[in-house]
Structure 1
Amino acid sequence: MSLTFVFIRSVVLTLAVGLFLLSSGRAARRPRAQVAFWSKAALIHLVWWHLPDLEGIWSQAGRWLVSIWVGALVTAVLLIVPFALFLVVRWLLVRRSASRPQTQGTYVPLVFVGLSVAVGIAVSVGTVGGPVVREEVVHVSDLSEGLDGLRIANIGDVHVGPFIKPADLAAAVDLVNARKVDLLAITGDLIDDLDQLEPTLDALERSEALPVLSILGNHDKYPNEAAVVAALKRRNRRIQVLINSSILVHPRGIPLRVAGVDYPLAADGRHMLPRDEQDAAMLRFAGLAFAQAAPGEPLVVLSHHPEFFPIASARGAMLTLSSHTHGGQVRLFGRPLIAAYDYMHGIYREGNSYLDVNSGLGHWLPLRIGVPREISIVTLRRG
């Protein structure tokens, strides 16, 4: 999603919320209230539009402000229907009453705005605050002794752009270095803003686990695939991009095959293919990516789309690393509000094969509830 696309959506939703407030009571229709709402909305969208140009503390403050606004705006849109029903019921009751209450016209917009802003502030903590490090241990029954204890970091959905800066990625790489990992995998959607591509790759090269292994996600592919791939290949001594291919690495001096599969993107740039077309594309990718893998060879697979896991498991992968889902972005009581995929977040197991789905270091939409930004580190142990 481009900055323009998300920005326009925000403008449209702002107009909808503003029109609802106009109908919610006399207090909201007062000139001072209207000037306050529309001037703040205009200021926030002005800051939002110029986020790519802001640096340092101004960038951080701008991201906090926009994140609070997006959280409050989405909450307000969800509250419009119940509040509208309340207003209708109140209007019907007032028509039957001889005396009309004088305070209700003030309380309704205040409660509406207050709830929206409160949720917006809570959301901003998850979007702008630092990432969590999720540690997982998986037990592989036929793991060689030399790979016992191997640690692999999974960073996905960075989305370097207006809301995530190369400095955020650099800080994440430093966190990974401090955890003493053996391999660092970037599981797609690294970059949204090509102007920040080179400092983004500089941040990756801070890794002490070289080469960094990277695959492409849907945001990397459309419309900037050629530029992203060319930049990654220029760094091929320190960053290896795997596009339906594999590489033999030697962490701890032990050979390990790592295969990377492409994202099944439609020719016109659509990010969601029909399930049968998606599965057919993934099977083609598997044939290419596993062409050099020998039977019984220790195999780790990188796939931006987690739905590739059953194919990887059938081909003998002991571990698949994915991202793409952002963990659903909104989780209530530990469950995603919208479970759009079979594998949403965390560790999954199928036989002797495991999948880790990372909820993302970043986002193209600064909205996270119950799904913090994260780095996942998987440690392999003999079963």
Structure 2
Amino acid sequence: MFRWLFVFLLVAIVEIYAFQAFRTLTKVRSYQFVYIILNLVVIIYIVNGFFHFDRSVGQTKQSLFTIGLLLLTLVPKLLITFVMIVEDIYRVFSGTITRFLGDNDYGSFLPERRKFVSQIAVGLAAIPFVSFLYGMTIGKYNFKIIKQTLTFPDLPDNFDGFVLAQISDIHSGSFDNPEKIQYAINLINKQEFDVLLFTGDIVNTDATEMHPWVEMFKGLKNPTYGKYSILGNHDYGTYKNWPSDKALEDNFEAVKDLHRQIDFRLMLDEHVKIKKDNQEIALVGVENWGKNFGEKGDINKASENLTKEDFKILMSHDPTHWEYVVKNHEKHFQLTLAGHTHGFQFGIEIPGWLKWSPVQYVYKQWAGLYENLGRYIYVNRGFGFHAYPGRVGIWPEITIIELKKDKNVA
């Protein structure tokens, strides 16, 4: 009860301050009335969406839209509230000084709100509003090709110039635009690569989410050395309530079969050898291992019979696996490919200057390339989207990684 009272008071404060800013900008009563009605409609829609969220159904396009609408309206108002509270602190301070140190013609204790402050507040609030709106309409399909070149002293000579393509976090249950998805498929197919790797989360929860997209993803070209995939945390179906354990298990089996349907080999705590002439590297795939999302993967089983000297590429969905297990593992995994974080689908990236997202306070490795004692992890920012139905600053990614031999090391 206290929690809901706190939420109600917070919303009330935010709405009051936002209305005060709007009222300072316009004295036209009809505009103010329309503002109030629109806000009431939005609030009722959002509250109704959260109270009627059905765990037996799971995430839907309506629930995605509800979250998007919440962020679209709440974040700008929070910014307005912050500016207005700062002004109120100034008004109280100024009124106190005037009352006790000024003349006796007091008038009102608090100075009137200044219109230019409200204009600044609304102007600042327009930035996240426009950003979230862009993210929900355009940004979520603003696919980017990101290329990396990684050099290793122990890469077999025949694999010098070997190219990996990586996608991650498809989240097919969130898609709403077939043309944009087909564009992304075509974009992948235009790239030159030797092997295509998918690092988990093919659905949000239910295997049926992928059914409308199977033929499209089956159209991904099959490179010389094949297509391989692993599971992500969402693929286990645990984000909704199932009528029975059997229904959950049946869905899990159906999710695994989706990989076959799109011509990927699903790797479940196992490895394969990729051979090029008389040399080989090992591709290792584990089930999901996440510090906060279930430690299912067994890296020791997956790398059985491999040695420290073997060159290994590990596919592991959650980057916390690398942080807690892989980066110091005795078998020396040279390269790990992960996803999972989506880069929070929100942040700022200016190559060579700035890379920031709120997710960095949760994950040490959250987007791009990281290294520890010559061992690398690359965290893909994700192909799809989930929860917030958009992307702001952290765009959907297709990764192309070229492996190079460090010939300066004997």
Moved more, 344-353 or 232-241: 232-241
Separation (CA, whole Å) in 2 of partners of 1:101 and 1:21: 19
Describe how 1:109-258 pairs up with structure 2 within 5 A: 111-126=120-135, 127-162=139-174, 168-192=180-204, 194=206, 195-209=208-222, 211-223=226-238, 226=249, 227-233=251-257, 235-236=259-260, 238-250=263-275, 255-258=280-283
Separation (CA, whole Å) in 1 of partners of 2:222 and 2:37: 54
1:369: how far off?
Answer: 4.0
Partner residue, 1:84: 85
| 8 Å CA contact retained: 1:261, 1:302 | yes
1:345: how far off?
Answer: 1.7
Partner residue, 1:357: 379
Describe how 1:278-289 pairs up with structure 2 within 5 A: 281=295, 285-289=298-302
State how many pairs are aligned.
354
1:110: how far off?
Answer: 5.4
Q: In the superposition, relative to structure 1, how do residues 366 and 244 fare at CA in structure 2: closer, same or farther (>3 Å)?
A: same
Q: In the superposition, relative to structure 1, how do residues 254 and 183 fare at CA in structure 2: closer, same or farther (>3 Å)?
A: farther
Partner residue, 1:324: 340
1:75: how far off?
Answer: 3.9
Q: In the superposition, relative to structure 1, how do residues 341 and 352 fare at CA in structure 2: closer, same or farther (>3 Å)?
A: same
Separation (CA, whole Å) in 2 of partners of 1:12 and 1:34: 17
Q: Deviations over 1:274-302 (max 9, x none)?
A: xxxx7xx47x7111211253554332110
| 8 Å CA contact retained: 2:18, 2:77 | no
1:136: how far off?
Answer: 0.1
TM-score where L is the length of structure 2: 0.70
2:403 to 356, 380, 383: 380
1:138: how far off?
Answer: 0.2
Letter in 1 for 2:38: A
1:38 to 40, 49, 58: 40
Letter in 1 for 2:292: M
1:378: how far off?
Answer: 0.8
1:134: how far off?
Answer: 0.8
1:331: how far off?
Answer: 3.5
Letter in 2 for 1:331: I
1:67: how far off?
Answer: 5.1
Q: In the superposition, relative to structure 1, how do residues 215 and 293 fare at CA in structure 2: closer, same or farther (>3 Å)?
A: same
| 8 Å CA contact retained: 2:343, 2:381 | yes
Q: In the superposition, relative to structure 1, how do residues 231 and 369 fare at CA in structure 2: closer, same or farther (>3 Å)?
A: closer
SS of residue paired to 1:21 = helix
Unaligned runs of 5+ in 2: 1-6, 53-58, 100-105, 240-247
1:137: how far off?
Answer: 0.2
SS of residue paired to 2:172 = coil
Partner residue, 1:347: 369
1:356: how far off?
Answer: 0.8
Percent identical among aligned pairs is: 20
1:99: how far off?
Answer: 6.3
Q: In the superposition, relative to structure 1, how do residues 299 and 146 fare at CA in structure 2: closer, same or farther (>3 Å)?
A: same
Q: In the superposition, relative to structure 1, how do residues 134 and 219 fare at CA in structure 2: closer, same or farther (>3 Å)?
A: same
Partner residue, 1:272: 292
Separation (CA, whole Å) in 1 of partners of 2:203 and 2:356: 28
Between structure 1 and structure 2, the one with the greater Rg is 2
SS of residue paired to 2:220 = coil
Unaligned runs of 5+ in 1: 1-9, 55-61, 266-270
Separation (CA, whole Å) in 1 of partners of 2:133 and 2:277: 40
SS of residue paired to 1:216 = coil
Q: Deviations over 1:237-271 (max 9, x none)?
A: 71112222223345789644221122236xxxxx7
1:53: how far off?
Answer: 6.9
Q: Deviations over 1:48-99 (max 9, x none)?
A: 99x9679xxxxxxx97x98586345324335533422323533664685536
| 8 Å CA contact retained: 2:269, 2:286 | yes
| 8 Å CA contact retained: 1:261, 1:303 | yes
Q: In the superposition, relative to structure 1, how do residues 135 and 40 fare at CA in structure 2: closer, same or farther (>3 Å)?
A: same
Separation (CA, whole Å) in 1 of partners of 2:276 and 2:37: 61
